[in-house]
Structure 1
Amino acid sequence: MEKKQYPLQNNYLSKKTFLLEKYNYFILLSIVFGGFLIFGLSENIKGPAIPEIQTDFHLDEGQLGFLLALNSLGYLLACLFTSALSNKIGIRWTGSIAFASMAIAGLCMYMSSTYTFLSMSYFLLYIGNGMLEIGLGIMAARIFTKNTGMMMNLAHFFYGLSSTVAPIFASSMMQWNITNGEIGWRGMYVIMLTFSLLPILPSLLAKFPEEISQEEEKVSYRYLFRDPVAWLIVAILSCGIVSELGIGSWLVHFLVKAYNWNLKDASGMLSMFFLFFMLARLFLGPLTDKIGYTFSILIFSAFSGICSILAIVVGEGGAILFAIAGIGIAPIYPTIMALLSKRYPNGTGTAITFTVTFMGIASVIGNLFIGYIIDAVNSFFSTRGGEKELIGLQAGYIFIGILALVCSVCCLILFITLRKKHAVL
């Protein structure tokens, strides 16, 4: 005989289902927010470490540029296979592999005795970072269906939060004494990257969006290749991210080499940059939903570019402008993710993968350019000593500021294009 279900029993089951879904939602939020915390930590501890790495391995600026370009190359490689891997084994295991590979990379960096092995370790680290960021981006786009701009910026706020404290923690940790010697950049990397293992546990407990709903994506790569809007978004994100990563990677090096700042003060300025960066994502996120994603990026990227260039023009007295530039550069990435989720609602994963893949290519080229621009300008001028090195460093940093301005110009073109189609976002 079929068992009857009474209204009271149905209400109990509905309430239980609601609580389970809410519990799962908070676990997913902890993974997204915690993942961005780990990502910001692993990405930005390299600032204080780079001068020490350069000294230990006797590297010139071109070799440093190549080392940083490997970061972007690892990210690019992750773009090529992460989407397919997540479809095959799920985001749960893809994310767990990403977290584990980052911890393994820390051990490899500790053991590195040659520039080649160090480069391979960096490469592995950024494969893990790339897998992580793509997975988090797709997951966030599926979770944050309301107030998308605000929630995307809030998620990326946690990246800014860890990025703010990462340089200070890293520079302080490098001076810790264990067994009658400083742990240096090697020990610092091992300790910091071990934290990447923490989000694996909630990843094993959560029910991920792809397991809840498997909607077929209607947007294809062929369609995106033919869509001018998609390419404008690629250009905007590429310029914005290369500028952002350029500041994070080269600011400490610039202040130490150009103005003879000590490592602690230079790292403090980088932390100040990420403080502005973090607060911008926290407070400007709601503004992007109100004034529009495209127009927001146009304004913010122009502001960042102007600040970066003015900092060079003014000189050492205007060094605070390096940090203030973080206000403009911070909202670009999360706002682009929000724009993609609204522009391509039936194929957000495909659109994100397409965009960040070409962004990765641009990042490789951009990081190489910064290093080799510095070397080329230094070689061109016949002056010697500190002045010669200063001119090259200034040229490299001006390039970073120009990229932010190009980002703004591309956004203006996108705004005009979408307005003609009555589809401004």
Structure 2
Amino acid sequence: MKLEKNRTAFIVTIGAFYSFLLFGFTDNVKGPILPALLEKFSLSYAQGSNILLLLYLGFMVSILGSGFFAGKYGNRNTLILAGLILSGAAAGMSLVQQQIFLYPLYFAIGIAIAAIEIGANGAITDIYHEESGKFLNLLAVFHGAGSMIAPWIVGIILGKGMPWQTVYKWSIFPILLFPLIFISLKLITKGEKITQSQAEKNDKQFFFRRDLILLAVLIFLYVSSEISFSSWFVDYLYKARSFTIKSASIMLTVFWGCVMLGRFGASFIVDKIGYVKSLIAAISLAIVSFGLGMLPGKIFASILPLTGLFFALIFPTATALAAELFPKSKAKVFGFLFFFAGLGGLVGPWVVGYSANWLGIARGFPSLSIFMVGSLVVLIIVKARMHPQREQESKSSKL
């Protein structure tokens, strides 16, 4: 029985990691193919923004629905459904020849990746009760790996003169492997439910607590920054900074490589420095890096991928801070924050796209700095609200 459970845990872990690899790839392949897609269908930046908006609208809808589905039918079935939807969407994207079909297909991709987010996180925390932080960070590394691979593969395909649909055509079989892993399982282990007090269950004002609202705004602003950056970065370098599509795609690969490296390095320092101080330092350095990248010349443009090094720790560290502030309500808190993450992914690229439509990509892309500065302002407010001793106790408890 123990051997069977260990085997199941191993398969689930591999499946969850693989699903996040595909999550990162699928979510970030859109940026590198965007210039080719806009050119193919003669779309404006505003129309391109609307397409990206549909993806994150699907994500937001699915975040709410997938949580309910996973609670009723289990993480295994949630991941199987996500894989089947993603496979169908990839097949559709490989065949699409008319603009109108892009909208439902991107919406379906959004539904699938949100279900992966819910199912994979749930599966990992079900299995690794005592080491959930460690394995969730490893899960995020696989997302970063997929994000890093995406622009590299797209750059090769487009560089050889092949149509952008080829990217999705080649991804169908790898995506199909993902639900097959979970279909092969007979069961998935279930974790113990965190018991909440009756007062917490009846607390109708829970979602109006100031600390939680501030963290939700922070997550919204940060994700707006990151997704806007990854969605429009290739087009910005190509049209405003005289990079080729291939070299611009490589730069996006470097950005995601920096995200991976930053997350790995952050795991050794955030507990010692403290969550809020780490977040303030990270977003401040990201603003400096982005600002230097806006200066004229390719040398300065080459600094932009380093922004990922500082972006890296913001989302997981903010999530860890939320878990620390609301230890008995983590399930509700994470669902709430993930919803705002989806909202940020929806609004950010849309705002930058419309800015590019009005002002041109050279002036529209820098507008994402508004979200970055907003994140810093929110963190300063959070820092001011936190009792200094509370932050010190948080740091000391982890030493």
Structure 1 length-normalised TM: 0.84
1:290: how far off?
2.3
Among all aligned residue pairs of Structure 1 and Structure 2, give the percentage whose two residues are the same amino acid: 25
* Code of the aligned partner of 1:360: G
In the TM superposition, 1:293-332 aligns within 5 A as 293-332=275-314
CA contact (8 A) 2:357 2:364 kept: no
Distance in 2 (CA, whole Å) between partners of 1:263 and 1:246 is 18
One-letter identity of the residue aligned with 1:260: S
**Cα deviation, residue 365, structure 1:** 2.2
**Partner in structure 1 of residue 321 of structure 2:** 339
Residues 153, 335 of structure 1: 8 Å contact kept: no
Structure 1 residue identity aligned to 2:265:
F
- Partners in 1 of 2:261 and 2:218 — Cα distance? 22
* Aligned-partner SS, 2:327: coil
Query: Aligned pair 1:78/2:62, yes or no?
Result: yes
Q: Distance in 1 between matches of 2:346 and 2:224?
A: 9
- Post-superposition Cα deviations, 1:4-57, rounded to whole Å, max 9, x if no partner, equal xxxxxxxxxxxx63x444444333322332221111111122222111111110
Paired residues for 1:90-101 under 5 Å:
90-101=74-85
SS of structure 1 residue aligned to 2:97 = coil
Kindly name which structure, 1 or 2, has the bigger radius of gyration based on alpha carbons: 1
3-state DSSP class of the match of 1:184? coil
For 1:284 and 1:202, the matched residues in 2 are separated by 31
- Number of equivalent positions: 389
Counterpart check, 1:225 vs 2:207: yes
Q: Shift in Å at residue 190 of structure 1?
A: 2.4
Q: Does 2:359 match 1:406? A: no
Provide the secondary structure at the position in 1 that maps to 2:243.
coil
Structure 1 gaps of 5+ residues are: 1-15, 177-181, 379-391
Offset of residue 326 of structure 1: 0.5
Q: Larger deviation: 117-126 or 344-353?
A: 344-353
Question: 1:11 maps to which residue?
Answer: none
Counterpart-to-counterpart distance in 2, 1:139 and 1:293: 26
Distance 1:138 1:232, change over 3 A: farther
Structure 1 letter corresponding to 2:204: R
Residue type at the aligned position of 1:351? V
Aligned equivalents of 1:147, 1:414: Cα separation in 2: 28
Could you say if the C-alpha distance between residues 323 and 299 of structure 1 is closer, same or farther in structure 2, counting changes exceeding 3 Å? same
CA pair 157-356 structure 1, distance change in 2 beyond 3 A:
same
The 2-side partners of 1:24 and 1:55 are apart by 47
Deviation string 1:189-228 (CA, Å, 9 cap, x unpaired) is 122243222232443427545x242445555583432211
Q: CA 1:26–1:291 in structure 2 vs 1: closer, same or farther (change >3 Å)?
A: farther
| Conserved? CA contact 1:138–1:348, under 8 Å | no
**Structure 2 residue corresponding to 1:203, chosen from 173, 182, 187:** 182
Query: What is the aligned partner in structure 1 of residue 88 from structure 2?
Result: 104
1:159 aligns with 2:138: no
**1:173 CA drift (Å):** 2.9
What is the Cα deviation at residue 244 of structure 1?
1.0
Deviations 1:389-424 (A, max 9, x none): xxx323322222331232122123223323268367
C-alpha distance 117-365 of structure 1, shift in aligned 2 (>3 A): same
- 1:192 correspondence with 2:164: no
Counterpart residue identity of residue 266, structure 2: L
Q: Deviations over 1:275-331 (max 9, x none)?
A: 111111122222222222232222112211221122113443201221100001112
The Cα offsets for residues 108-129 of structure 1, whole Å up to 9 and x where unpaired, read as 1123222221121111111101
C-alpha change, 1:118 and 1:137, in structure 2 (3 Å) is: same
Inter-partner Cα distance in structure 2 for 1:355 and 1:323: 26
Cα deviation, 1:156-192, whole Å, max 9, x if unaligned, reads 111111211211112223456xxxxx65211211222
Q: Structure 1 residues 85, 293: CA separation in 2 closer, same or farther (over 3 Å shift)?
A: same
Q: Is the 8 A contact 2:148 2:253 kept in 1?
A: yes
Farther-moved stretch of structure 1 (284-293 vs 255-264): 284-293
Deviations 1:329-353 (A, max 9, x none): 1122222333333333333222111
Looking at structure 1, the residues matched to 106 and 125 of structure 2 have their Cα atoms a distance apart, in angstroms, of 28
Cα 1:101–1:51, aligned 2, differ >3 Å: closer, same or farther?
same
1:193/1:130 Cα in 2 relative to 1: closer, same or farther (>3 Å)?
Answer: farther
Is structure 2 residue 361 aligned with structure 1 residue 393?
A: yes
Residue 83 of structure 2 aligns with an amino acid whose one-letter code is F
Partner residue in 1 for 2:386 = 418
Q: Which residue of structure 1 lines up, in the alignment, with residue 103 of structure 2?
A: 119
Give distance in 2, aligned partners of 1:22 and 1:340. 31
Residue aligned with 2:371, SS: helix
Counterpart pick for 2:234 among 244, 252, 267: 252
Q: Which residue of 2 aligns with 1:268?
A: 250
Q: Give the structure 1 partner of residue 267 of structure 2.
A: 285
